[in-house]
Amino acid sequence: MASNIHPTAVIDPKAELGENVDVGPYSLIAAEVRVHDGTKIQNNVTILGPTVIGRDNRIFAYASIGQDPQDKKFHGEPESFLEIGDGNTIREYVTINRGSEFGGGHTRIGNDNWIMAYCHVAHDCQVGNKTVFANGATLAGHVTIEDGVTLGGFTAVHQYCSIGELAMTGGLTMIAQDVPPFVIATGNRVRLYGINKIGMERYGLPKEDIDAIQKAYKTFYRSRLAKQEALERIENELAHSARAQQFAMFIRESKRGICR
């Protein structure tokens, strides 16, 4: 059982808590919630199910985890789940909603993410690993955030948008189309300002990958080639670079169109 459950915490008998789980004062853990070993839950946190939370997470005061989707089409359907991985930091007043049957039923958050105060992750979002959400960043429903993304404060992402790996946004950014991997994006509406070189270096990408991404970016955004021509040039001239091919593939597969 948990190592430290405050006497004022309310925990449903059907909830499952692993070893060394702390639950602070006045927190509520409902039925169909499973919390794995080592997770620390502060005071006044609400966690509803069906929700699975992995190991060694830190959930700060007044967070609301696993609430119903904020979707008018949702009427209590059973296919509504939230999965949170390991090692995440979820700060004060963060809200994370379960999925809906209209979006596959699952909201998922990976491992080692840093989600700062007042952020919101809506229903059916898919968040990867090692992301950073600065204060007030907001995801609408069905958003995909790939590994290593950094969202600046009060970034707002429109439903069904995707943000590619290691992209970075500035504060007060409004995103209504897909953001390719490895770029810096900012503004309302968003514009791109080159590649996220420092972020890639910190993430450990080798120089040859960064150089190839820089060339792919210039080919697509600055060569004045048509979209198809630019992608073909990247695929042909940078065939040796898996990261450049990743950049081109993201653009090819975009459903909402790409920020230009």
Could you give the residue numbers annotated as active site?
123-124, 141
Residue 212 phi/psi, 5° resolution?
-65, -40
Residues 6+ apart with CB under 8 A from 182: 164, 165, 166, 167, 195, 196, 200, 213, 217, 243, 247
Asked whether 65 and 82 are in contact (CB, 8 A), the reply is: yes
Tokens 């950014």 sit on residue: 173
The helix or strand, by DSSP H or E, that contains position 97, with its residue range, turns out to be strand 95-97
Tokens 């504060």 sit on residue: 171
Backbone angle region of 198, left / alpha / beta, with phi > 0 → left and psi within -120 to 50 → alpha:
alpha
- For residue 73, CA distances in Å to 102, 105, 143, 158, 253 come to 8, 13, 17, 18, 28
Handedness of CA 223, 180, 174, 104 (dihedral sign): positive
Rounded Cα gap, residues 140 and 143, in angstroms: 6
Asked whether 116 and 98 are in contact (CB, 8 A), the reply is: no
Rounded Cα gap, residues 50 and 33, in angstroms: 6
